[in-house]
Amino acid sequence: MYLFVYGSLLSHNSHNYLLKGCKFIGKAILEGFGLYKVSWYPAIVPKENSKVLGEVYQIDPSTLKKIDEFEDEGELYKRKEIEVVLEKGDILKAWTYVYLFDVDEDNYVPFENQPWRG
């Protein structure tokens, strides 16, 4: 299975160690979602005409469980299966985490300011 990450789990960010041993598939774009800063961390929510830059990893069920716990799945985020477009144009189904609360448009992160740094 695959996981699309867009925040602290990215290869250059602080919590990527949670994906140690997982195969990096590549950079990818998720369309139809917007990236927002909520507190010190990022979140995505559905947003027309918007897209999110992230990375895809191949993961196993035990890693997915670990990431569910890290993301407070069901409390803060909802794990959802989505389609992403890889750099070479391939479309891939992957899991990602969608924020469960309202976001402030003032904290929207435009695509040209991505990927998330933090």
Whole-angstrom distance, CA of residue 12 vs CA of residue 92: 22
The answer to whether 116 and 35 have CB atoms below 8 angstroms apart is: yes
Catalytic residue among 55, 69, 71, 81: 71
Q: Does 71 participate in catalysis according to the annotation?
A: yes
Whole-angstrom distance, CA of residue 59 vs CA of residue 46: 24
Active site residues: 71
